[in-house]
Amino acid sequence: MEEENKVTLHIKEIAELSKIDIKEIHFYEEIGLIRSINKFPYKRSRLFHIETVAKVIWIKRFLELGFSWAQIRKIMDLWIEEKEYPSEEKLQSIFNNRIEALTSEIKRLEKLREEIQKLSEKLNNSENIKQFLLSVIPDRSLQKSRNLP
């Protein structure tokens, strides 16, 4: 009964309100992140609940924040399964998992930065580019190739 009283919008209106391209909204529907309602199945234009505006904006935002499609699907599935909105605890858990992943990624990137800084310093201290580029060859390999003990 409450479902019937909800405001419905055409996809063009969803696009205008969310500032998201119609093709992108169609894609979200095709992969099951949002659902249209078929009040008028004989018409080509699909109708959506007003909440779809928030959903497509959140989908876009989650993508910008680096969430995977699987994580976004999990959030949208919660939104659908729980009829109105996902529970705060479930959403917080997904956010915490993303924060942990970002923290690990930041640590990994910091290590990469340090390694590249060391390479940069080594390049600056090299006599020439050839010396720098060949410096990765282990000393034993050089000894064998020169027939040295």
Model-level pTM greater than 0.75? Answer: no
When comparing pLDDT for 44 and 67, which is higher? 67
Domain segments of the chain as ranges: 2-86
Bridge partners (DSSP) listed for residue 37? 47
Res. 92: pLDDT tops 60 = yes
Give the model confidence (pLDDT) of 128-147 as tens digits.
898 889 888 887 655 555 55
What angle do the packed helices 51-64 and 69-81 form, to 10 degrees?
A: 160
Q: Which DSSP string corresponds to the chain?
A: -GGGGS-EEEHHHHHHHHT--HHHHHHHHHTTSS--B-S-TTSSS-EEETHHHHHHHHHHHHHHTT--HHHHHHHHHHHHHTSS---HHHHHHHHHHHHHHHHHHHHHHHHHHHHHHHHHHHHHHSSSHHHHHHTTS-HHHHHHHTT--
Instruction: Give the CA angle between residues 128, 124, 115 to the nearest 5°.
Output: 115
Report the topology of domain 2-86: Multidrug-efflux Transporter Regulator; Chain: A; Domain 2 (1.10.1660)
Res. 35: pLDDT tops 70: yes
In DSSP notation, 14-52 reads: HHHHHT--HHHHHHHHHTTSS--B-S-TTSSS-EEETHH
Structural tokens at position 8? 């419905």
